[in-house]
Structure 1
Amino acid sequence: MGADPGPRADRPRRRSFTAEYKMTMVVEYDRFPAGEKGAMLRREGLYSSHTIEWRRARDAGTLGGTAGAAAAATPAPKRGKTAEQAEIERLRRQNERLAADPARDKAALEIMAKHTRSCSCSPENADHDPKQSR
């Protein structure tokens, strides 16, 4: 007879996709207008995260193989961003996030000031400790 199938033999197997299929799906997905992309994904049984991941791999030159093999086989200009460009973009995004923090802090302070002005509490009552009046 054959080998014992094991306790998980009846479970579904994870699908695997060829590099050609991934590239075809990314190209096809990008061609569809925004309202029709979901229909394509449902037809193929895919999630939008698949196309996002596959597009990133394509842009990095690693779709369908290891990073080293794809990088060696692909000329530098076609691989997309250089490491330096990627680092510059990452630092730019980080700078934008950090620059947004003071604006958020200022907005929070303005809200607190408006709240304090709208409350009936006066500054004299703010220093009053109810525990001391016993």
Structure 2
Amino acid sequence: MTDEPAEKPARPKRRSFSAAYKARILAAYDALPDGSPERGVLLRKEKLYHSHMEHWRKQAREGTLPASTGKVHRSSEAQELARLRTENARLKAEAEKLSSRNERLSGELDKTRTALEIAGKAFALLQDVSGSADSEKKQRLSRTSSCRAWKGRSARSRPVGSWESPGPHCTGGGILNRS
């Protein structure tokens, strides 16, 4: 046995693909029907993965397909276009979120308006009932106060059969109502 340290295996070099190769493979892959076994055969033959196809499609959409290393080489217009597309997608999502929130709040507002309308009608009804009850109470009080005034007089000071005699609403104590 030797005391020499074992050499570490060299780190594998990352593969890089030319823009022409990416375009050719992507075109061949897309020409095959979706879900067909030929797509898998093509990927195995080229020792590629489905993620390569997805990444290369994204690069083609963004205009960065010629980048053969992992680094993105974009022109300033392509960078601006990518930024604007990202911002556009974000704004569309935000608009959709605000639209749904607006619909929800509109429904709540309709419910609140209906509830306020019902409460207003109930208040008006209670005022009418209260007003009629107050007028009945005033009538009873005026009758009761006249009875009290009549009852407070002595029997001698009350003229019999005069207009000052208590009415039928008075009970007990009146000359006409005595039994």
* Greater relative CO, 1 or 2 (CA 8 Å, sep 6+): 1
TM-score relative to the length of structure 1: 0.49
Structure number with higher helix proportion: 1
